[in-house]
Amino acid sequence: MIIQRASCFHRALLTSLEKVGPRYFTAPAQTSVQPSTYRDYESRDIFDWDNLGFKLIQTDYMFMTRSSQNGNFEKGKLNPYGNIELSPSAGVLNYGQGLIEGTKAYRVDDGRIFLFRPQESGIRMQIGAKRMCMPSPSIQQFVEAVKLTTIANKRWIPPAGKGSLYIRPLLIGNGPILGIAPAPEYTFIVYACPVGNYLRNGTQPLTLYVEEEHHRATQGGAGGVKAITNYAPVIKAIQKAKERGYSDVLYLDSVNKKYIEEVSASNIFLVKGKNISTPVASGTILEGVTRKSIIDIAHDLEYQVEERLIEADELFSADEVFCTGTALGVAPVGSITYKNKRINYKVSSDLISEQLNSRLVAIQKGIIEDKRGWIIEIK
């Protein structure tokens, strides 16, 4: 029975790639996995889903394709999840020429599987690739690769309400290069991992520390794209904050050092009455997909939303603060410490952030109508 189902799955993968057409793949995607070796991808008993957390768990398959000399990407290939070979002189290792993305797949109550706005991640990767002088997969190729990786790792998608499958597209300059220049070859990889709550303390409110010494990004840099080089520099600030008992760090702008920008891996919102404000994305702030979604939902619910410069002093008068991100979701902030003063915020079930999050989750789970085409069903 397992062999029959796996064989059908193998044929379905090839059929779906054939439908994409020559514009995106020069030939149907190959797979180094024989049909008879596909695992029972319907199994839901492979993990303790109630204690999932947010850590790396090796799944079954990953998608990979490489660019040709003219910058177009070759046919895709599904491989068993595993290590990749890189030259010591690879552009990504020597000069950090790489981009990451993140999106999620959800299993809903009736067993269907939904992807949430993967095309937005594909668009963002193209924008980032242009900034980093890299070729990028087309949006359709990006989305198809995400779909295939999701299907191949279907058994790792947690049951409804237990978590999600976090999908990590990765674009790297793998070609060897000595001088500072674009790599001669690029690899596009998609792998996946089941995840629960991003935070160790689960659903507890965030406690943030405003960092005044280290900065996440600067004008003219790459803070507005999801470059791999944006993340290692913030580790020092995060470690310092966590040693003091905080969840994460809120960064200020590097020029005036008085405007809030974003948290290490999420965007931030302030609420005052019926008005919601978030720092304007002006090149130093990553425009998160969840951020965009929450802004649209807030407009639907008739809140006033402003994208503007926000002085850190406004933290003292805000009624409510919350953060958004693909990994994080929508999380209320319980307190922020700024200039050695701790600002506490109300945390209750009637928060505006809770209302926005409930609407977002209902769309992701198919409970309410998706009027914007955010959901892609995996079949």
Q: What is the pLDDT along the chain (379 residues), one digit of tens a residue?
A: 333 333 343 444 434 433 333 333 333 344 444 433 445 445 456 678 988 889 999 999 999 999 977 889 998 999 999 999 999 999 999 999 999 999 999 999 999 999 999 999 999 999 999 999 999 999 999 999 999 999 999 999 999 999 999 999 999 999 999 999 999 999 999 999 999 988 766 678 999 999 999 999 999 999 999 999 999 999 999 999 999 999 999 999 999 999 999 999 999 999 999 999 999 998 999 999 999 999 999 999 999 999 999 999 999 999 999 999 999 999 999 999 999 999 999 888 899 999 999 999 999 999 999 999 999 999 8
| pLDDT, position 93 | 97
Report DSSP state, residue 175. S
Q: Return d(Cα 78, Cα 70) in angstroms, integer.
A: 23
Active site residue 226: yes
Which residues on neighbouring strands pair with residue 241, listed in sequence order?
A: none
Q: Are 306 and 312 in contact (CB under 8 A)?
A: no
From 104, 147, 226, 365, the catalytic residue: 226
Instruction: Name residue, tokens 């029972």.
Output: 40
Q: Return d(Cα 305, Cα 275) in angstroms, integer.
A: 6
Instruction: Give the Cα-Cα-Cα angle 140, 145, 151 (nearest 5 degrees).
Output: 125
Report DSSP state, residue 29. P
Q: Are 336 and 317 in contact (CB under 8 A)?
A: no
Q: Where are the alpha helices (DSSP H) in the chain?
A: 2-20, 91-95, 118-131, 139-152, 235-243, 289-300, 352-364
| pLDDT, position 39 | 53
Q: Return d(Cα 73, Cα 76) in angstroms, integer.
A: 8
The pTM score is: 0.87
